[in-house]
Amino acid sequence: MNAIIFGAPGSGKGTYASRLKTKLEIEVISMGDIFRDIMKKETDFGKKVKKYVEKGQLVPDEMVISVLKKNLTQIPSGKGVILDGYPRTIPQAETLQEIANIDVILLQNVPDWIIIERLSSRRICINCSEVYNIRFLKPKIENVQRPDDTAEVIKERIQLYQKMTSPIIDYYKEKNTPFVISEITSLNTPPEQIVEKILEELKILNLT
Ligand code: ADP
């Protein structure tokens, strides 16, 4: 099964994807994580990526697409993948269409107030990149705020998400790709509950 997990920044998509990875023995390609690794390396490419990410802007398509292709070729054949953070533009979706078949879209619907609340309290372990939250999952070890989790950049990322969402959703609706939609309405819904529901619906769709 190849899936795209789609949702606003802070919708929890990274958390759900990593849990689905274990349950379904599937690979996850997280564009945000890959770019954060690339930025650490201080190469020319890394410095270029950083210019966009730190402002909450999209990295240009040709750069994103080259990174995607490189990562897709590393997946053993026959193994499925969940794409997190890709595609974010129509050209990215069109390129993907040429190289992989997408069986399902996992869409997380989350109201803005939850997004803002979650992102401003999100913290990342400086050693292993594990995600914590100073309100719900208190980090015991040294942690930092993601540089793009500041109020100004959060606003930028939410606006960008809203602008790019509908064309991509329409793109997959036109292709009749099935959707599994999670409606998240409370700050405290445990991730397990959401993941279990996604798994149930994937079963109904005969995808697991
Ligand atoms: P978010 O938490 O906002 O969903 P991610 O961790 O997925 O963010 O990505 C962080 C940043 O990396 C984005 O704000 C953007 O600058 C860049 N990025 C990630 N994926 C893409 C993509 N597919 N196209 C363009 N830029 C991307």
- The answer to whether residue 38 sits within a structural domain is yes
- The answer to whether residue 189 sits within a structural domain is no
- The answer to whether residue 34 sits within a structural domain is yes
CATH code where residue 179 lies: 3.40.50.300
Neighbours of 61 (CB within 10 A): 16
Q: Smallest Cα–Cα separation from 80: which of 168, 21, 32, 7?
A: 21
- The answer to whether residue 107 sits within a structural domain is yes
Pairing status of strand 27-30 against strand 81-84: parallel
Question: Is the minimum distance from the CB of 12 to ligand 1 under 6 angstroms?
Answer: no
Number of independent structural domains in the chain: 1
Burial class (CB in 10 A: 0-12, 13-18, 19+), 144: exposed
What pLDDT sits at residue 43? 96
Report how far apart, in Å, the C-alpha atoms of 163 and of each of 44, 88, 116, 142 are: 29, 10, 17, 35
Report how far apart, in Å, the C-alpha atoms of 75 and of each of 87, 95, 124, 149, 208 are: 18, 17, 26, 30, 19
Quick: pLDDT tens for 149-207: 888 888 888 888 989 888 999 999 999 999 999 999 988 888 899 999 999 999 999 99
Question: Is the minimum distance from the CB of 9 to ligand 1 under 6 angstroms?
Answer: yes
What pLDDT sits at residue 126? 83
- The answer to whether residue 94 sits within a structural domain is yes
- Interatomic CA distance for residues 50 and 189, integer angstroms: 33
Whole domain around residue 24: which residue ranges? Answer: 2-183
- The answer to whether residue 198 sits within a structural domain is no
pTM: 0.89
Taking the alpha carbons at both ends of the chain, their separation in whole angstroms is 8
Burial class (CB in 10 A: 0-12, 13-18, 19+), 149: buried
pLDDT tier for residue 102 given thresholds of 50, 70 and 90: very high
Question: Is the minimum distance from the CB of 6 to ligand 1 under 6 angstroms?
Answer: no
DSSP letter at 128 equals T
- Ligand 1 atom 3: the closest Cα is on which residue? 9
Question: Is 36 in contact with 129 (CB distance < 8 Å)?
Answer: yes
Tell me how far the alpha carbon of residue 131 lies from the centroid of ligand 1, in angstroms.
16
Question: Is the minimum distance from the CB of 39 to ligand 1 under 6 angstroms?
Answer: no
- The answer to whether residue 75 sits within a structural domain is yes
- The answer to whether residue 156 sits within a structural domain is yes
Tell me how far the alpha carbon of residue 62 lies from the centroid of ligand 1, in angstroms.
14
